[in-house]
C-alpha cells in the first residue's frame, strides 16, 4: 500500500487569483501582451530566493483580487534569466505596466515598505480605456534584444517601410521644381562686359602702339610699316 504525499505549494504559487498567470518564456510573454488588448497588464519579476519578493507576494495577490480587470503576470527570474537580461531587468522585485496601443507605461522597483508606489501606479493606469490603434506590446528595442538572444526561442522581423516607386519620386521632384520656379521666377540679366580703359595722353598711346607693333613683329604676322 503506497501513500501519496502531496507537495506543498511554493510561496509564489500561493494565493493566486484567476487574473494571475506565470509567463513561461519570451514567446509567451510577447504573444500574451499582444492578445491582452486594452487591458492593463502588470508584470512582476521575482526570484524564489528574494526575501523582498516573498514578503510582497501576498499583497500583490490581494491587489489582484481587488482589481479583477487587471492582468497580473509573474516572471521567475531564475528560470528566465536570459529573457530578463534582454528586457534589462537587473533588480528585484521589479514591475512593468503595459497596456494596449500605449505599450509600456512605467517601470519601477518597490518592496513591502514602498508598496504605495505600486498602488499609485495601479490607480493611475488602472482606469478603463478603449483604443482603436493596434496593441503595441514591448518596445522594438526589447523585441530586437529578445530575438538576438540565442538562449531564447523567439524570432522577430522588424517592419520595413514600403519602397516608393522611382516614377513617383520623379513626379514629386518635377512638382516641387515647378512650384519653386513659379514662386521664385528667374530673371536673366545681360552680361556686362568691361569697357576699354581710356588713353590718358598721346605719349601713352604711342607707347601702347609701339608695344603692340613689337608683339606683332615677334609673331611674324604683320610687316612693319616703312
Residue numbers annotated as active site: 50, 53
* Rounded (10°) CA dihedral 179, 182, 185, 186: 50
- Both ends of the chain: CA-CA distance in Å? 150
Q: Which of 65, 123, 53 is nearest to 95 (CA)?
A: 53
How do strand 71-76 and strand 40-46 relate by DSSP bridges? parallel
Three-state SS at 94 = strand
User: Which cell numbers in the block locate residue 218?
Assistant: 615677334
Place of cell 497596456: 99
Phi-psi region of 88 (alpha: psi -120 to 50; beta: other; left: phi over 0): left
Q: C-alpha distances in angstroms, 100 versus 10, 83, 97, 226?
A: 32, 21, 11, 106
Q: How far apart are CA 67 and CA 71, in angstroms?
A: 9
The values of phi and psi at residue 71, to 5°, are: -90, 125
Amino acid at each position: 500500500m503506497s501513500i501519496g504525499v502531496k507537495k506543498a505549494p511554493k510561496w509564489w504559487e500561493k494565493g493566486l487569483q484567476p487574473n494571475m498567470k506565470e509567463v513561461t518564456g519570451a514567446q509567451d510573454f510577447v504573444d500574451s501582451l499582444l492578445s491582452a488588448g486594452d487591458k492593463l497588464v502588470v508584470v512582476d519579476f521575482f526570484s524564489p530566493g528574494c526575501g523582498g519578493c516573498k514578503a510582497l507576494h501576498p499583497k500583490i495577490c490581494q491587489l489582484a483580487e481587488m482589481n479583477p480587470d487587471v492582468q497580473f503576470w509573474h516572471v521567475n527570474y531564475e528560470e528566465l534569466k536570459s529573457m530578463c537580461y534582454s528586457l534589462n531587468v537587473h533588480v528585484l522585485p521589479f514591475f512593468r505596466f503595459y497596456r494596449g496601443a500605449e505599450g509600456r507605461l512605467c517601470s519601477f522597483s518597490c518592496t513591502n515598505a514602498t508598496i504605495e508606489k505600486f498602488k499609485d501606479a495601479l490607480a493611475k493606469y488602472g482606469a478603463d480605456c478603449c483604443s482603436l490603434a493596434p496593441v503595441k506590446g514591448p518596445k522594438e528595442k526589447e523585441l530586437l534584444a529578445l530575438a538576438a538572444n540565442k538562449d531564447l526561442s523567439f524570432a522577430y522581423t522588424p517592419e520595413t517601410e514600403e519602397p516608393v516607386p522611382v516614377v513617383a519620386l520623379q513626379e514629386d521632384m518635377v512638382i516641387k521644381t515647378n512650384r519653386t520656379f513659379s514662386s521664385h521666377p528667374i530673371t536673366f540679366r545681360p552680361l556686362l562686359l568691361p569697357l576699354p580703359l581710356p588713353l590718358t595722353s598721346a605719349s601713352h598711346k604711342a607707347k601702347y602702339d609701339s608695344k603692340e607693333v613689337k608683339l606683332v613683329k615677334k609673331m611674324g604676322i604683320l610687316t612693319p610699316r616703312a
